Amino acid sequence: MNKSLSVIVPCFNEEEVITESYKRIKSILNQFDFRTEIIFINDGSTDKTQEILYNILESDNSVKLITFSRNFGHQKAVTAGINHCTSDLAIIIDADLQDPPELIPEMIRTMETSHAQVVYCVRKSRKGEGFFKKITAKLFYRFLNFLSEVRLPVDTGDFRLIDKSIIREFNNLHEKGKYIRGLISWVGFKQVPFYYEREARFAGETKYPFMKMLRFATTSMLYFSTKPLRIATTLGFTSVLVALALAIWSILGKIIGFTHADSGWTSLFVLIIFFGGVQLLTIGIVGSYIGNLFDEIKNRPEYIILKKENFESNIEDEKNKSR
């Protein structure tokens, strides 16, 4: 089988690690007898990353480089890498060697033996990361999975192997806020886990300060769930029901005399809870429309076909061929 592999490496101010990552990735790629390449994306680094990458490029013409005009963020860098990938297989890997490149051959074997389109790496443990990062990451992935309409595997990063059907479908997604690991799950096909120990960063510091982490978490939740919007509807509906029940209770109480409210209290009380409920319900309804609008704007395909049988003229296949 004629295979080819691209290794996609996003880099932001990685002068301390980039030479070592290149060496380690390259020595793995040298073992393969098919075409391989490394695509580095320099995401607006302000240190010597670009210079080092130019040196690597000079000595190795299987290395490609995409340089951003400024720092657009990790997810945009990986997106650019996938958009520019023409191989049959792609590995997404961090530059800091937290994801060991030595696992690549085994990941490819796993893909072959399980006939999968995605091999996603699940972190059994995370070395060299603080308590805060570990606990927030653990909670975050579980909460996100609860919110999300598609099942998102927990404790996974973007470190994964994807094949060309995934690359093709990913490149068909046009939403601007991309939560890549979520979108790859969303695309479907056969996806299998691969367990590994996440290493400590080889050198340098994390490029994900708290604010960036927060933005990343917000994007993933907003783009993968409209549940928060719909919660208002449920709350509003419940409040209106409770208001009606309380209204009946307090009016009857007033007439029969089992409540001893001051005059005016009953009507005020009933009106307040009723209109509170009505407002929440209305916000919820508006929210549902906004949720649907958001889904429409994201313009994800409505479905992805794995295969079709017994069709004479296969329009989808023609389209795929020309892509």
Residue 15 binds ligand UDP, judged by CB under 6 A: no
Report if residue 300 touches ligand UDP, rule: CB under 6 A.
Answer: no
3-state SS class at 176: coil
Shortest reach from residue 158's CB to Mg ion, in Å = 11
- Are 286 and 229 contacting, i.e. CB atoms less than 8 angstroms apart? no
Q: How far is the CB of 38 from Mg ion (least distance, A)?
A: 18
Encoded one letter per residue, x for contact with ligand UDP by CB under 6 A and - for no contact, window 189-228 reads: -----------------xxx--------------------
Would strands 118-126 and 191-198 be described as parallel, antiparallel, or unpaired?
parallel
Our measurement of the distance from residue 309's CA atom to the centroid of its chain's CA atoms, rounded to an integer in Å, reads: 32
By a kind-dependent CB cut-off of 5 to 8 A, residue 208 interacts, out of ligand UDP, Mg ion, none, with ligand UDP
Q: What is the chain's percent helix, strand, coil content, to nearest 5? A: 50, 15, 35
As a whole number of angstroms, the distance between CA 294 and CA 296 comes to 5
Q: What tokens does 314 get?
A: 């296969």
Q: Binding to Mg ion (CB under 5 A): which residues in 46-105?
A: 94, 96, 98
- 52 contacts ligand UDP (rule: CB under 6 A): no
CB-CB contact of 90 with 82 (8 Å) = yes
- Choose between 52 and 273: whose C-beta lies nearer to Mg ion: 52
Q: Which does 136 bind (CB under 5 to 8 A by kind): ligand UDP, Mg ion, none?
A: none
* Token pair recorded at residue 151: 């099942």
Looking at beta carbons only, is 189 or 208 nearer to ligand UDP? 208
Q: Contact, 196 vs 160, CB < 8 A?
A: no
Query: With CB under 5 A, what is the number of residues at the site for Mg ion?
Result: 3
Window 88 to 117, contacts with ligand UDP (CB under 6 A): 94-96, 98
Contact between 178 and ligand UDP by CB under 6 A: the answer reads no
List the beta bridge partners of residue 35.
4
**By the criterion CB under 5 A, which residues form the site for Mg ion?**
94, 96, 98
